[in-house]
Chains A and B, each alone.
Chain A
Amino acid sequence: MRTLSLSMLLLALCVPHAASADTVDELLEQYRAEGAGEFSAEAGQRLWHAQHSHGTAPNSRSCVSCHTSDPHSIGEHVRTGKSIKPMARSMNFERYTEQEKVEKWFKRNCKWTLGRECSAQEKGDLLVFLRSH
C-alpha cells in the first residue's frame, strides 16, 4: 500500500511538469508558424558573434558586446556596466521561462545590435543555440 501511494505521489509530481510545455518549444513553434524553417544552433552561434554597424551605431556591435562570447559567462551592460546573468540556460534556469520576456528582450536588443527587429528565423536560431548551452 505504501509503495502504491508513493508511486501515486511521484506520478502526481511528474504530471504537471510533463504537461507544461517548454517555453522555448512554444516560441519555436510560433516562429515556424511565422514562416521560419528548421532552426540551427550553428546559425545561432554565427549570429551571436556577428558584428553590425548601422545608422545610430557607427561602431560595430554584437550580442557579445554585452553578453561576452561565452554564453556561460556573466555579461556586462556595455554602457552602464551592470552585470548580466549568463544567457546559457544551464547557468540560469530562470532564462526562457516567460514568452513575453524573451520577446521583449529580442525586440530591444535586436534593434540595438542590428538596427532592426530580428526575423522569426534568427530568433529561433539564437534560442536553439542558447538552449544548447
Chain B
Amino acid sequence: MTATESNCEGIQVEDTDEIVREFLTESQENLDQLDRDLVALEADPSSAALLQSVFRTIHTIKGTSGFLGFGDLESLTHVGESLLAKMRDGSLTLTQERATALLELVDAVRATLESIAATGAEDPTDRSALVRRISDLQAEVPGVPPSDPSEPVTEAAPAAKPAGEALRVGEILQNNEIVDDTDVAVAVIEQQLGDDRPLGEILIAHGHATPGQVADALAVQESARSNALGGGPNGATPFHVGADASLRVDVNLLDTLMRLVGELVLTRNQIVATATTQAEPAMLRSSQRLNLLVSELQAGVMKTRMQPIDTIWSKLPRVVRDLGVTCGKEVRLVLQGRETELDKTILEAIKDPLTHVVRNAVDHGIESPDVRRAAGKDPEGQLTLRAFHEGGQVNIEIDDDGAGIDPAKIAAKALGSGLVTAEQLRAMGPREVVNLIFEPGFSTAEAVTNVSGRGVGMDVVRTNVEKIGGTVDVVSELGILTSLRIKIPLTLAIIPALTVECAGERYAVPQVSLEELLCVEGDRARAAVEYLSGAPVFRLRGSLLPLVWLDHVLDLTEGPHVDDAVYILVLQADGRRFGLVVDRVLNTEEIVVKPLSRQLKGIGTYAGATILGDGRVALILDVRALARRAHVVSEGDSLSTAQTRDSEAAKPDGPEPLLIVAVGPRRVGVPLSMVTRLEEIPGASIEYAGQRELVQYRGNLLPLTRLSNLLGVPSEVGSERLKVIVYSQGQRSVGLIVDAVLDIANEAPRSRGDVHEYGVSGMAVVQERVTELLDMEQAITAADPQFFIAIAAADAADVSAYDNYAQIGA
C-alpha cells in the first residue's frame, strides 16, 4: 500500500467517523424530543403538528442510519415510520398500546445508538420481536387483550393500594358501565402476576377503557378520597394529563436563552455561508441540518416568550371604571383580540403607553354624559381596544367615540408654542396636524387636568412605541371619534430581512416593509425611470412609484443615477409606497437586531445593526425614517396614480393642471395629463357587451364607465349627449362619462387631504372649492379591467407606447 493510498483511506474513515459522531449527537437530541413529543401526542392524539414532528424525527434517523449502513436501526425505524405514516394519514389513531410500542422503539434506538457510540457497531440485541409487534400494530384493529377470558375471576385488589380509598378505579369504571367485571379481574390478575402498572393503565392497554375515561374515574376517586378525609380539594392535584405540561420559568432565563439563540442564529448564518462556498458535502449536509434545527429552536424559544395581550389588558377595565367614576363619565370598555400574542419585552414596553392612552381617552376623548346627550350620542361612551396580527406586526387600535381632536386647536397650539412655523403648518394635511400631539413639548395646557393632560406624555407614548420599532398614528373626526393606532413588531430580537448592497456597503431591509422587488435591466432601465417635476418615478402597474436612491438619501452620491440595471425595492412606510433603488440585491436572511450605540441613534435612518454571515456588520435601514428623509411620506405630496405628467412637455415646476368636472353633486379633478381628448357622444350610440357599455370610436371599441356609478352618486345627466373623457395609452382607450366639464384649474391645490373612498385618491381645495381627485387607475380599470395588463404586455414589446398621451382636444 502506498503512502498516498493509506492517506486517502485515512481521510475517508475520518470523514465517516465525523458523520457518525454528528449523527449520534443529533439523534440524541432528537430522541429526547421524541420522548416528549410522543407523550404529548398521546395526551392530544389529534395534534397534527406533534405527529408531524415525531414522524420527521423518526424519518431523519431512518434516512441517516440507512446512509451510514446501520441496517438494524434502519429496519427498526422503518416500521415505526410506517406506523406513524398510517396515523398521519388518519387511518390509525394513537392508542396507548401504540404509544407504548413507539416509546419502546425510541428506547431501542437509543440503546443502539449508545452501542454505536461505544463500539462503533450496532448492538447485537435482537429487536425482531419489537419490530414484529410494531408491524402487527399497523393492523386496523388495535391489539386485543392477550388475556384468556376463561382465566379464573378473582375479586381482589393488591394490598398496596393506599388506605382510605373510597372506591377503586375499576369499580368506578364498572359503575360507569365502561368495563365489565371480567376486564377488571383480568387486570387485577396481571397486577398480581407482577405487572406494576396501575389498574387504569392496564385497562387502557387492553383497550377496555380510554385514557379520558380512566382520568375521569381517577378524578371521581380523588374527590371521594379527599371528601372521606374531610379535606375537600386540599391541594391534591387532580389527575390531569395536561397539567404537568406547563412550568414556571424565570424570565431572566428566557432572556438569556433568547440571547443565546440570537448568537446561535448568527453563528448558523456564518456556518451556512462558509459551507456553501466550500463544496464539502458532509459540511454542507450538516450545515443544512443545523440551519433547520436552529430555525426550529428559534421559533420555539420565541414562542416561550409570547404572552397574550390580555396580560396587560386585564388591568384596564378597572382603570377605566375608576377613571370614569372620578371624571363623572360613563364608559363601556370593549376589548377585542385579547388572545393576540406578543413578545414579553414588547408587552412590558407598551404597558405604560397603553395605560396612558386609555386614561387620555377616558379623560379627554369621551365627553360627560350631559354633553353626549346634547350632541345626540349615547350617554355612555365606548372605548374599544382592538389587537390583531397583520403582516408580521401586531396592531393595537384604541378607539373612542368621544369629542375627537380639533385640528384647528392643535394647529393654533403648535404655532403658539413655536413647534411649527406657519409655513410648515400650511403644508400639512389635517391628519399630520393632529399627529402633532406626539411632538415633544406639545401640550394643550388648557386641557390639562389632575388625571391626565392630552399631550402631556403623548410624546412619551410615541417614544416608547418607536423604541421597540413600532409606529403610532392618530386619526380623528371632530365630534365623532379618535382612533389611535399602534403598530409594533411581534418580536424585536430576530427579524427576516433582505440584504442589499449600496455604495460598497451592505444594508439590511426589514421584510415587514418590503412589498416586492423589481429589476429593470439594460435600455429598459433608462426608459423606466421618468421624472415628475424633477422627482424620479417608476410606473408600477399603472401607478407612479416615487423612487429614492439609497446612496443619494445617505448623502453618498449627488443625485439619482440610472445604471445598467435598476434594482427597486418596493417599500411601504406610513401607508405609502416608494421604491428604494439599490446597487444589488443579495439575500434574504434572518438577522439578529443589535441596538445602535448612542453615537448612531441620533442619525435616525438606521433601526439597528446586525452581523452578517461573513462576520461583517451591516446597518439595518429604518424604512420610515428613510422615507421621511427622502420626503416621500408627507401628506402634502399626493403620490397616487393620478399625478402623471409627460416628462418632456411639462413645465418643470408648475402645478399639475386639473380638469374639473361635475359628477352628480360632486366636483372631481382629473389630472390633465390623463386626459387624451374630450368627446361628446350621443347616448343612443352606446352599445352593450354583457353589462359593459361601449361605443364605436375611431374604428375601435371604446369601453365606457360612468363616474357616477364609480363614485356611487346619482347622475344628473340626460341621455342625449354624453360628455366623455377619453384616455388613451398605446392602442387602448377608455372613456369616462361625466355630467359636465367645468373648468381647467392651473393653480396649485391649496391643501390636500386623505380620503378613503373608492374611486377617489385624495381631496384638495381648488378654486376655493373642495375637489375630489379621481383615482385614475380605479376609473380606468372600471371601464376596462384588462387595460393595464394589456399595456404592460404591450410595454414589453414597445416601450415607446407611453409617448402618445397628454394631447387635449375638446
Question: Is B truly associated with A?
Answer: no
User: What residues make up the interface of B, taking CB atoms closer than 8 Å to A?
Assistant: none
User: What residues make up the interface of A, taking CB atoms closer than 8 Å to B?
Assistant: none
